[in-house]
Structure 1
Amino acid sequence: MRIKVGISSCLLGESVRFDGGHKHLRLCTDSLSRFFEFVAECPEVGIGMGIPRKPIRLVGDVDAPQAVAVHDYNLNYTEKLTAFGQQKAHEHSDLCGYIFMKNSPSCGLFRVKVYQENGYPAAETGRGLYADALKKAHPLMPMEESGRLNDPLLRENFITRVFAYYDWKQLVRGGLTHHKLINFHSRYKYSLMAHSPKHYAELGRMLADAGKHEIEALAEGYFTELMTVLSKIASRKTHTNVLMHLQGYLKKKLSSAEKQELADIINRYRTAELPLIVPITLLKHHFNNHPNAYIVRQAYLQPYPDALSLRNAI
């Protein structure tokens, strides 16, 4: 089963842009589509604007901009775009992520220009109205922009969060219990540690007396913190810390030569000589030869399918 992820239609190569063109993002069609079931929307076409059409821009207050036609400010699409976003946020409650078109006054998630009366954009930037409506409706859902996905670290982080979000929805769908929540946290222990050791410890303390709290309230607080922690970019330092923790489970299983090789590989990753996939692959090899029931459950070693090759570039 592929995971449902929303996307701006133009990124799939659909010719829906104001000029009749598209912004085909091959990462999505050539790679991610093997694992994501994309749900495409073009909000501007969705509210009845034609192809081609007059371009629009954001104007006025950065915190509450208006979407108007570039050459005719009397053509105001603010209410329609916002309402369309709210409608789609309700319809697509089963999405586990969203990829938006960058810089768009309807779909841009970050740094969208908001023009002022003098004709120049404000120093501060805004967010596209459709994207803003979805973000407000689903604040914890992983969301990213087309341009930022060219960055290997941001791409890996986004996809990690999509799969974690999907895992959580599956957990909730199966019925929440304190036991299931503790097991979920146990499986994500090293993933959380890689993103923020401090917040990993705080989540552990949150669950230390889990049985004393109502499961719904506890789960809501936990999920909020989970997605907040995973949104932080894991560094070589924090990854190295996790790799060394995992190495510790093998200290009585490996020969002296194998232990030295593993330590050297982890250190070469730490100093940026090797990508993360190298120590991960070696660790998985050793754990295949020396199975550990606790480690085999860790999401950190397999946060998404290997075929995505995301750790080859970080």
Structure 2
Amino acid sequence: MKIKVGISSCLLGHEVRYDGTHKHLRLATESLSRYFDFVPECPEVGIGMTIPRKPIRLVGNPESPDAVAVHDETLDYSHALTAFGEKKAAEHQDLCGYIFMKNSPSCGLFRVKVYQENGYPSATPGRGLYAKAFTNLHPLLPVEESGRLCEPLLRENFVTRVFAYANWLQLKKQGLTVKAILDFHVRYKYTLMAHSPSKYAELGRMLADAGNHEPDALGERYFAELMTTLKTLASRKTHTNVLMHLQGYLKKKISSSEKQELATIIEQYRTAQIPLIVPVTLLRHHFNNHPDPYINKQAYLQPYPDDLSLRNAI
């Protein structure tokens, strides 16, 4: 089954913007749609605004701005957009991610302009009112903006989080047990280590006395820390650390020449000569020839389907 992911309607090519146009995000329709079941929403249309319509913008305090029509601030859509965001957040409990339209006064996540009385935007940016209301009620949900998904690291990070979120929801449907939580942690050991070695260690300490805690409460604490940790971008340094750990499982299984080749490939990755997919592919080749039950459980070697090609550019 595909993973349900929310998205701003205009990013799917729907002509719902104020001027009747769209902002088609081909990454979504031509790549991610193979694995994501997109749930489109246009909050402006959702609250009854027409197509075309007067554009809106954020004004006032960047922490709690209002959304009003450009050149006519008597047309205030603040309450309606916020209420619509809260309504949709309550309806969409099964989403595993959300892609929002950048710079939008309704859907923008980052750096949305908030205009002041002098006609200029504040130095402090805001967040679109629909996006703010939705994310406030789903603080752990993987979210990203359309523009930022053009950056390979951010794109790979977002998709990694979406698949981890989906895997956790599936685990919850089956019923949380202490063993299930511990098995999930084992599965994500090296993924967590790649994002933050220190946070990985903290999560290990959290689970050290897992048997003394009620599974649902422990699961909520663990999942919150997991998703927070995965938001940290993995670096070449931390990936190299993980690759070397994985290399250690092969030291008694592959030949000296194969060890040298693998070490060289990992070093070439560390020094940015090759992308991550190269050492990962070589490691997978060796583990296919020399299976290891523990390594076979690891999400790190395949956190999402290969044909998304996300590690080819990082």
Partner SS, residue 286 of structure 1? helix
Counterpart-to-counterpart distance in 2, 1:301 and 1:147: 27
Residues 1:221 and 2:229 are matched in the alignment: no
Residues 1:302 and 2:302 are matched in the alignment: yes
How much has 1:216 moved relative to structure 2?
1.7
How much has 1:217 moved relative to structure 2?
1.6
Residues 1:277 and 2:272 are matched in the alignment: no
Partner SS, residue 300 of structure 2? helix
Aligned-partner residue type, residue 255 of structure 2: S
Matched residue, 1:201: 201
What do residues 128-182 of structure 1 show as CA deviations (whole Å, max 9, x unaligned)? 0000011101000000000000000000000000000000000111000000000
Q: Which 4+ stretches in 1 moved above 3 angstroms?
A: none
What is the TM-score normalised by the length of structure 2?
Answer: 1.00
Q: Which runs of 5+ in 1 are unaligned?
A: none
Residues 140-155 of structure 1: pairs in structure 2 closer than 5 A:
140-155=140-155
What do residues 13-48 of structure 1 show as CA deviations (whole Å, max 9, x unaligned)? 000000110000000000000000000000001101
Matched residue, 2:12: 12
How much has 1:71 moved relative to structure 2?
1.3
Matched residue, 1:21: 21
Counterpart-to-counterpart distance in 1, 2:208 and 2:147: 41
How much has 1:197 moved relative to structure 2?
0.2
Aligned-partner residue type, residue 270 of structure 1: R
Residues 62-141 of structure 1: pairs in structure 2 closer than 5 A:
62-141=62-141
Matched residue, 2:241: 241
Aligned length, in residue pairs: 314
Partner SS, residue 234 of structure 2? coil
Q: Which runs of 5+ in 2 are unaligned?
A: none
Counterpart-to-counterpart distance in 2, 1:216 and 1:293: 28
What do residues 90-141 of structure 1 show as CA deviations (whole Å, max 9, x unaligned)? 1111000000000000000111011111111111000000000111010000
Aligned-partner residue type, residue 293 of structure 1: P
Counterpart-to-counterpart distance in 1, 2:179 and 2:298: 17
What do residues 203-243 of structure 1 show as CA deviations (whole Å, max 9, x unaligned)? 00000000111212211110110001000000000000000
Counterpart-to-counterpart distance in 1, 2:61 and 2:184: 43
CA RMSD of aligned residues (A): 0.4
How much has 1:259 moved relative to structure 2?
0.3
Partner SS, residue 279 of structure 2? helix
Aligned-partner residue type, residue 288 of structure 1: N
Q: State percent identity of aligned pairs.
A: 75
What is the TM-score normalised by the length of structure 1?
Answer: 1.00
